[in-house]
Amino acid sequence: MDSSLIQNLFSFMTNNIFYIIYGFALVEIYLIISVFLMMRKHENVLADISENLLKGFADAPDKDSDQSLNERIESALDFITTKISNNPALKSEFGKNASKITQRPLYNRHYKIEIYASVMSALVQVFTLLGILGTILAIAQTAFQNGGKVDVSSLSNAFVLAMDTTILGIVFSIIFMVIESTFQPKIERVINESAHFKQIISNVNML
């Protein structure tokens, strides 16, 4: 490979390393907001669907305003599971309600949440690597600019750039790591609720 091409690539990345880090940060923020909104919509829809499955059952659990969405969903799904376990003949009754439900958008959103959450988690690790990359680029660019010789002045500038990119990468990594740690239990809960719901629908033979 042409050394000038490598030098130009290093030069471009070195001159734009901060924009690259900020760009990844914007992508991470977009993913966080997207996952939050999708989870909120997903739980609302899942709560409504779970309640629709209970129509016609007089002993269904009451809708309590003090319950969270998660509690309402779990209460409805546990009720259905218990009913079917105790009386398999009730599958047809739940099946009538399930036949009115369109599951595809729900499952598509579920998988989309998983994908976005996976990418969001991966990007958290990227920021530290970008900080290290900034260090390497700064030293490499200094060597290229001086024909392989490193003087004190250029090395000092490279050190400042390396420190700035490393600190920025670590700061972003810490911030997004904290955010991800608060999101992860909620994401797992939504995924588990969706899996539980899918299992119940499968059990009444409506997929």
Model confidence pLDDT, tens digit, residues 97-148: 666 565 566 667 778 888 888 898 888 889 888 888 888 877 777 766 655 5
* Residue 186: CATH number of its domain: 1.20.58
Residue 158 confidence (pLDDT): 73
How many angstroms separate the CA atoms of 132 and 17, rounded? 11
Q: Is residue 29 part of a domain?
A: yes
Contact 55, 25 (CB under 8 A): no
Q: Is residue 60 part of a domain?
A: no
The total number of structural domains that make up the chain = 1
How many angstroms separate the CA atoms of 110 and 48, rounded? 16
Residue 165 confidence (pLDDT): 87
Residue 64 confidence (pLDDT): 63
Q: Is residue 195 part of a domain?
A: yes
Q: Is 205 left (phi over 0), alpha (psi -120 to 50) or beta?
A: left
Contact 162, 134 (CB under 8 A): yes
Contact 24, 126 (CB under 8 A): yes
Tokens 């990844």 found at: 24
Report residues of the chain scoring pLDDT below 50: 206-207
Length of the chain: 207
- 3-state secondary structure (DSSP) of residue 32: helix
- 3-state secondary structure (DSSP) of residue 140: helix
Residue 31 confidence (pLDDT): 92
How many angstroms separate the CA atoms of 111 and 109, rounded? 5
Q: Is 147 left (phi over 0), alpha (psi -120 to 50) or beta?
A: left
Q: Is residue 36 part of a domain?
A: yes
How many angstroms separate the CA atoms of 161 and 17, rounded? 9
How many angstroms separate the CA atoms of 199 and 44, rounded? 19
161, 154, 156: which is closest to 132 by C-alpha? Answer: 161
Residue 206 confidence (pLDDT): 44
Q: Is residue 58 part of a domain?
A: no
Question: Which residue stretches of the chain are H helix?
Answer: 3-15, 17-53, 69-86, 91-98, 104-145, 152-203
Q: Which domain holds residue 182?
A: 3-53+67-203
Q: Is residue 59 part of a domain?
A: no
Q: Is residue 98 part of a domain?
A: yes
Tokens 């509690």 found at: 71
